[in-house]
Chains A and B, each alone.
Chain A
Amino acid sequence: QQQVKQSPQSLIVQKGGISIINCAYENTAFDYFPWYQQFPGKGPALLIAIRPDVSEKKEGRFTISFNKSAKQFSLHIMDSQPGDSATYFCAAGDSNYQLIWGAGTKLIIKP
Chain B
Amino acid sequence: GAGVSQTPSNKVTEKGKYVELRCDPISGHTALYWYRQSLGQGPEFLIYFQGTGAADDSGLPNDRFFAVRPEGSVSTLKIQRTERGDSAVYLCASSLLALNTGELFFGEGSRLTVL
Interface residues of A (CB under 8 A from B): 6, 32, 34, 41-46, 49, 89, 91, 93-99, 101-104
Contacts and interface: CB of A to CB of B under 8 A. Distances in A.
B42 A101 contact: yes
Q: Tell me if B's interface is mostly helix, strand, loop or mixed.
A: loop
A107 to B, nearest CB: 14
Contacts, number: 58
Contact of B42 (A45, A91, A95): A91
A7 to B, nearest CB: 13
Nearest to B3: A43
A102 B48 contact: no
* Listed residue (A34, A43, A95) with the most chain B CB atoms within 10 angstroms of its CB: A43
B57 to A, nearest CB: 12
Nearest to B59: A98
24 contacts: A32-B100, A34-B103, A43-B91, A43-B106, A43-B107, A43-B109, A44-B91, A44-B104, A46-B104, A95-B100, A96-B100, A97-B55, A97-B98, A98-B45, A98-B99, A98-B100, A99-B99, A99-B104, A101-B42, A102-B42, A103-B40, A103-B41, A104-B40, A104-B42
B30 to A, nearest CB: 12
Contacts of A104: 40-42
B112 interface: no
Contacts of B100: 32, 93-99
